[in-house]
Amino acid sequence: MQGPPSASTGRSVTSGGSLAVLGDAGGAVLARAFGLVARLRGTRALHSVGFCGTGALTIEPGPRSGVVLLDDPGPHRCLVRWSRATGLHDAADIEGLAVRLQGPAAGDVLVASTGTGVLTRHVLTLRGRRDHGPLTTLLPLSTARGPLLLRLDPVTDTVDPPSAYRLLVSAPGRPWHERGRLDITWTDLDCSRRHDPVGRPPAGTWTHPMWARLREPSYAASHRVRAAPDEPRHA
């Protein structure tokens, strides 16, 4: 449905409609790029090689939020996968962690290496092969109480990949607050599991339509090629 005509231009384009157009356009560009890379590599476009494991996330509950993960102390069982975006062993790369929550909080969360400041928490950051640091959701999740950002900080960076992370939460532009801890038991093998943070967010959260329009086509394009994980090696 179109909005009322603009007083200055006479065109009936709402701000929401404009955002939808931008999201669709950006999503189409990303989808073509990710689809091409996936076909060339013969596997998913990014994060094609990694390590898989199991984890447990314990929470210190705060004010009720409607987000099951933050309202229930757990432990929340989960499946985890750590990887680097391009998979190049010696080059600086983007670090990523995929978490599939199980049980009442069920849903997928993807976090990647970023800064932690008001602006830099939304900017991807390159790290060396054995460098580990803060990982955030980059874009906020929507909740009944407003937008929510999640952050995981390695408890120690001497293990590759890290086996424990602190969980912090924030709203965009607001300070971070520590709320829990993720402990992981890694295997030496990868897995072909697909994660869908857009269509399967944690219980009590959802993806803003703008971010969904931007991200969903690229995930779909990347995943049209069957994942073929190689056995990773500590390098």
DSSP string, 57-90: EEE---S--S-HHHHS---EEEEEEEEESS--SS
Query: What pLDDT shows up at residue 233?
Result: 38
80-93 CB burial, b ≥16 within 10 A, e <16: bbbbbbbbeeeeeb
| Pairwise CA distance, residues 147 & 40, whole Å | 36
Q: What contacts 145, CB < 8 A, 6 or more positions away?
A: 65, 66
Strands 149-154 and 135-136: antiparallel
- Segments making up each domain of the chain, as ranges: 50-204
| Pairwise CA distance, residues 140 & 55, whole Å | 23
Each of the 235 residues of the chain gets a pLDDT tens digit; together they read 323 333 333 433 344 454 344 334 333 333 343 333 344 344 454 556 789 999 999 999 899 999 999 999 999 999 999 988 876 667 888 899 999 999 999 999 999 999 999 999 999 999 988 899 999 999 999 999 999 999 999 998 778 899 999 999 999 999 999 999 999 999 988 887 888 888 899 999 998 887 666 555 555 544 554 555 444 433 3
Q: Which helix (H) or strand (E) element contains residue 129?
A: none
182's tokens? 């993720």
| Pairwise CA distance, residues 71 & 104, whole Å | 11
Taken as a whole, the chain contains a residue count of 235
Query: What pLDDT shows up at residue 235?
Result: 32
| Pairwise CA distance, residues 126 & 142, whole Å | 27
Q: Are 221 and 38 in contact (CB under 8 A)?
A: yes
Read off φ and ψ for residue 209, nearest 5 degrees.
-55, -35
- Please report where in the chains the tokens 């924030």 appear, as a residue: 170
**pTM given for the model:** 0.74
Q: What contacts 196, CB < 8 A, 6 or more positions away?
A: 108, 219
Query: What pLDDT shows up at residue 32?
Result: 40
